[in-house]
A and B are shown apart, each in its own frame.
Chain A
Amino acid sequence: MLQPSIPPVEPRPSLNTAAKLNVGDRLLRALYPPRANAWQLRWLGFAMLVLAAIFPWLGGPFYTRLAIESFLFGATALSVDILLGYAGLLSLGQAAYFGLAAYISALMYLHVTQSFWLVLVAVVTAVAVFSLVLGAVAIRAKGVYFALITFGAAEILSKIAHNTRAIGGSDGLIGIPVPRITLLPGVTIDLQNNFVFYYAVLGVLVLIYIGTRRILDSGFGAVLRAIRDNSDRVPYLGYNSFWYKLLAYIMAAQVAAVGGLIYPLLRGFVAPHLFGFEVSTKAVVMSLVGGVGTLLGPLAGSVIVTFLESAVGSYTERHLLVLGVIFIVFVMFLPDGLIGLARRLSASRGKAAP
């Protein structure tokens, strides 16, 4: 049902030429994925970046902050795509890492420190440990059981947060102070300013996208795709697929945690629902809407779904109903998402006009 769409492969510069590229070229190549052939995808990535760059000048403060939120959920959607599009694992519990990061970050700002970097280290460590343990258990299970274990783990965390008075119980934690982030000595990022906040998060998201793309275009990514294609065959080539899946899982957990790390600074509160099924499934719907296996699609999907939800939410409280309908429509009619649709449209146009 959730067959990831795989972009056809394009000629790739040989290892020789790759080594000669300078840093700027390499950044450009990262933004323009070499294996996701199509110029469509490159232009889409470029168009999305331009649109994102000018958006705060058009949108106004409410929509700017909504866009930031969509970027944070975009990281979670990207993490779903790493697992589903590359390793072939459907996780219904990426909210576990979003929520974990959000709670750790909120608690530390409230009680421990105002240093963003200390919080970052704590979150990365905690998520690494948690994902190592949960991943080691869940990856041994096959198919739907992997989805159920990840889903169950997120629900358990949600219930713990819900029932623990010390971390706010069902009310969550409110009044989280917004720290000043010292980027370099003398250079601080003032998150009170919407524009600064927006571009900082956009920059982080672009860096994550480039990093993920580079890693998954390497031999590691090829092994993951081989596992998704035919997991029985991979051991006969000398790979222990367990370790590759586990690494991918930990990587995805870190990406999902980025959203949670920043979320409390945007909204000033955290609550048990951040661990919830809604966040996890929304991430799956977002990557499905954009196009699984493209990495760029989930980012587009997260913006579309977040803004759609906000628009629907002003008419009715039943925005989950809309989310569900979107999900069904895409699974049935557009399983390769909007990017897949765009690719097919341009392919058919290419045939019509030779």
Chain B
Amino acid sequence: MANVRHGTVKEPFIHITKNAAMPFWKGLLIRASAVIAAFILCSLLAYFLIGANPGEFLKTFFEGNFGSNAASAKLRIWKLAKDTAILLCIALAITPAFRMRFWNIGAEGQVLISALASVAVVYYNAGRLEDGPLLVLMFIASIAAGMIWAVIPAIFKALWNANETLFTLMMNYVATFFVAYCLVKWTPNGSSVLGELKTGHLPSFGHDYLVLILVVLVTTAFMFVYLYYSKHGYEISVVGESQRTACYIGINVKKVIIRTMALSGALCGLTGFLLVAALDHSVTTTSVGGRGFTAIIVSWLAKFNPLIMIGTALLLVFLNHGAGQLATVFRVSFAFPDVVTGIVIFFVIGCEFFIRYKVHFRRKTRTAQVADNGSGGGGGALDSPGDNEKPDIVPDKGGKLK
């Protein structure tokens, strides 16, 4: 494949080649420096925009996550763990579908409808059942609701190849308005605020959030094993790589799509159940609060690996809490934390480029031949998930010297 250029041909100032194998520590180092560089840029922005010196910036960021005194430290660390767990749980839910290249952006609606299902069970139970059986019913209702919301677009995709991105997105709106409808129905005084339900609370051990966090950790382990060490996980990967290959080796693609989306929906259902039974004990149209979309970034940054997702979910929640504290302390609008989060994510995604590709600058004197392995010209780092696992097939996009 290697095209041979001679010294007489003018060499471009910069050229890029695919980086075959980078040691793990080096990749980690690049990512860490990207985060640090992003923080330096953010602290400069903070200095010029809101007048926070870099010291205050970092201190505030740190305090937002770990507290400013012993009492708030305890609260905020638990909050960090809890928010990470919820975000992670949604990211786990969308991951199997994404590995299959089924772009499910409907986690927001799937979680919301599951939360509504749990609330509906408590509402219509009206205190008749004890919390034990009630929780079982809530759990079943939430899982079922999440599965139904996810399987509808899956069926349309599998049978008629309907665009799943638009379909799942629209299902989000349906879920939101369905919640609004139920709230109007359940509050005859017209307030549309249900308030905290008195029954159907998940029992707590040790700490209010401990059960939730443990459930999510067990789910993470399960998903890791399921995706990497089970036949289903393998089928998902094959369907994701090539549906034709999957057909050829006898995988029932339709079945895999529907089954995988049912699993995605069930995990969203679990999240919805946890939101209601362990945290809110109520539902509003904004109960999920955009986390169904943030989870996509979590999953993608981790290259769809459930174990790495723990880290990426933590990073996003960390940014959110730290930047939120900045907004509070410096009295700026919520746009500023979003800018900070955006910059850091941009750097993290951007640095993937330097991990996957090598940049060569033109040297001053040229004598030797230059072997050009014809890299794809370096598209966005996020263009193709799972690239690392694929054998390195060199694209022939350039092809000019053939």
A in complex with B:
no
User: Residues of A at under 8 Å CB distance from B?
Assistant: none
User: Residues of B at under 8 Å CB distance from A?
Assistant: none
